[in-house]
Structure 1
């Protein structure tokens, strides 16, 4: 049930957040250059590594 709620919330909020994400990506591209996103491996549940994708920052 929680998974259904999470996916539903994401699908409903994506059209609202997508323009904001595009603006942030453009600003990062102009200020810091390409690539806009970077990947970082972090420890997750029980130490299992997962890959996090983030906007490049200062």
Structure 2
């Protein structure tokens, strides 16, 4: 199923799957921590996720995270 995450949202989700903090993800993507949080909120909504762990689990199930 195509969930429709943007490239950035997927990058944030992958960072979360690797256990990185929002600040660490932001440094890697050259964006602010607030920007990471914005992407996170959007991807949580798209995945129907309550939190990071739930989002990562949903990402695994959807085949977005290996």
Choose between structure 1 and 2 for higher RCO, CA contacts under 8 A separated by at least 6 residues: 2
TM value normalised by structure 1: 0.32
Larger radius of gyration: 1
Between Structure 1 and Structure 2, the one with more helix by share is 2
Between Structure 1 and Structure 2, the one with more strand by share is 1
TM value normalised by structure 2: 0.30
